[in-house]
Amino acid sequence: MRQLFLDTETTGLRVEDGNRLLEMAAVEMIDRKLSKSDAHFHRYVNPGRDSEEGALNVHGLTTQFLSDKPKFAEVVDDFLAYVQGAELIIHNAPFDVGYLNMELGKLGRGKIQDYVVSITDTLKMAKDLWPGKRNSLDALCDRYEVDRSGRTLHGALIDCELLAEVYMAMTRGQDSLLIDYAPTAEENASNLERRSNSLPLIVTQASAEELALHQKYLNALDKAVKGSCVWRELEPLLPNTEGNPQ
């Protein structure tokens, strides 16, 4: 599976006010492994207008710096070829998608949804996992202990890299334990024989409090994947709170 963590910077907050894109970046991940930096996408774009003061304070990209950069029309083919057929993972996706669709629409190139498999909004994921909490990218970095000490201003590329780390932390446990290594039938048989010849194991049953915490964690995983996590398949094999088989 090819996933792209995407972010943009713009001249202002509202696309309805005539603001434009001025930076685009995407970080590639394939089968939950981040690609090398030369596989990422990063372009500055000359927006043809000044940034609003509030936006300039966020990204620091001045009109002078952007004056010799290409227009969006000059990079659109490279961008669309890069995202083709991938899943986009974006924090607060409606904002970035709105700007991308505006720029594509000006060129008669349709919508970003026409080129990608799907778009995942990590802000929505975070709100489902942490209702009532602050769920900005900065807040999630702090919550999941992702180092953002090198980030003084918002930049599309560094925000993509931070988002990739946050997403991996948010979805940990779903498939990372199963994808990297799948034993063969021969290895399974060998492991079973080895266990049957070993001494009996002493099993300590989980307490009611531990079982409750376990269920809370599984519920969070269910919300993250919008379904049932893989651990639910094992529940019929586990003992219940009284220690009797279910």
Positions marked catalytic: 154
Nearest to 235 by CA among 219, 246, 223: 246
Report which residue type is found at 185. Answer: A
Please, how many CA atoms are within 13 Å of residue 220, restricted to the half-sphere of its CB? 16
**How crowded is residue 92: how many other Cβ atoms within 10 Å of its Cβ?**
16
User: What gap in Å lies between CA 178 and CA 172, rounded to an integer?
Assistant: 11
* Residue 34, φ and ψ in degrees, nearest 5: -70, 135
Please give the span between the terminal C-alpha atoms of the chain, in angstroms, as a whole number. 36
Q: Are 138 and 131 in contact (CB under 8 A)?
A: no
